Amino acid sequence: MYLKRISLTNFKNIPEAQIEFSSGLNCINGNNGQGKTNLLDAIYYLSMTKSYFDVLDRFTFRHGEQTASVQGTYLSDDGTEETITVLLSKQAPKQVRRGKKQYARFSDHIGLIPIVMSSPTDTALVNDASGERRRFVNMFLSQTDKEYLRNLQDYNQLLMQRNKLLKQEIVPADLLDVFSARLSEYADYIYRRRSELCERLTPLVDEYHHLLSGDREKVSLQYVSDLQNGSLEDILRKEAERERILKYTTAGVHHDDILLQLDGYPLRKCGSQGQQKSFLIALKLAQFSIMRESYPFPPILLLDDVFDKLDSERVSNLLSIVSGEDFGQIFITDSNKVRLGNIVKELSAECAMFDVADGIYTRIMQ
């Protein structure tokens, strides 16, 4: 399955656009702030029903507009077409439709069209708090495991209720125990799936990092969770008195972290910009590899400004990787038109190239 066509109205800086894509490589060239990243974010919206950049829907409207829409037409290997539509309004709730049928729950759509995105903002995975790394893992697993997504949603809902209970002046012990037991059930599944994922990711990230950079450093992901010390129910029972004082849930998978390491040391402190960039790209390639095994077709791969801070050797190595037969439709943005042209020449895949200025896209080659 690949994205054949996209139609946009009032999405960020894009007033209106209808774009036909190649089933292989799609290169988007333009200066900063013209709409390269916005196009990739619109494609991400069609898969995940939200922005890649974790911004609220109200920030996706073109300035001064009250409504916006993103519609994508996908073509399967058997020739059938699938249309996904996201309708946004400042006066009404967001709608997501598959064909003419509107989803009652957005979560039912997640995983239908697998997608992996690499962006300069991924440096937050290295430099920011643990919430960014949990968000990456959650978005990853939500596409491949519906039960994970349900458990995560139920956990977060129950966590809110438990915290509300802890804020009361009098907290009934038996009711708190009920909340703790139920929370522990959801946490156990989340913990196991995150732990398994990190174990699968580590050798793949290490392999891709080596293929990209040729460096001999060993890269790894170390999963850190309260549940490594026992069941959440037991932990919360011991924390009960402290929680009554602090008035919030002090332990659980909402505190989990994934440590990104280079030769056993924190990547944030010991990795150069090039090493961090290589690590993050390797992480997304490893994500792609695992997701590829879960679907009969490859995920759509979005590479936004991915060549920044990469030397020519690493750029060549990356292109060699993504030109493999395991990859399907790829979108690449760059502000360097000459470099994009050289990429097109180097890759033998079917290709389309676009220029963008002020949210207007012009196809300049097949």
Q: Which of 251, 279, 11, 237 is nearest to 136 (CA)?
A: 279
Contact 115, 43 (CB under 8 A): yes
Q: What topology does CATH give the domain 1-114+298-366?
A: Rossmann fold (3.40.50)
Q: Which of 123, 325, 332, 293 is nearest to 204 (CA)?
A: 293
Please list the pLDDT of the chain residue by residue as tens digits (366 residues).
999 999 999 999 999 999 999 999 999 999 988 999 999 999 999 999 999 997 788 888 888 889 999 999 999 988 899 999 999 999 999 999 999 999 999 999 999 999 999 999 999 999 999 999 999 999 999 999 999 999 999 999 999 999 999 999 999 999 999 999 999 999 999 999 999 999 999 999 999 999 998 877 889 999 999 999 999 999 999 999 999 999 999 999 999 999 999 998 999 998 888 889 999 999 999 999 999 999 999 999 999 998 887 888 888 888 888 887 789 999 999 988 888 777 777 776 678 899 999 999 999 865
Sketch the domain layout of the chain as residue ranges. Answer: 1-114+298-366, 124-294
Q: Report how far residue 284's alpha carbon sits from residue 301's, in angstroms, rounded to the nearest whole number.
A: 9
| Parallel/antiparallel/unpaired status of strands 25-29 and 67-75 | unpaired
Q: Report how far residue 314's alpha carbon sits from residue 18's, in angstroms, rounded to the nearest whole number.
A: 34
DSSP label at 358? T
Q: Report how far residue 269's alpha carbon sits from residue 237's, in angstroms, rounded to the nearest whole number.
A: 36
Buried b (16+ CB within 10 A) or exposed e, 45-69: bbbbbbbbeeeebeebbbeeeeebb
pTM: 0.94
Block residue for tokens 């829907």: 57
CA–chain centroid gap for 251, Å, is 25
Domain 124-294 has CATH 1.20.1050.90: yes
Please indicate whether the domains covering 1-114+298-366 and 124-294 agree at the CATH topology level. no
Residue 82's alpha-carbon distances to 32, 96, 120, 279, 357, in angstroms, are 32, 13, 31, 35, 29
DSSP label at 61? B
Contact 185, 150 (CB under 8 A): no
Quote the pLDDT of residue 348.
Answer: 60
Q: Report how far residue 242's alpha carbon sits from residue 162's, in angstroms, rounded to the nearest whole number.
A: 14
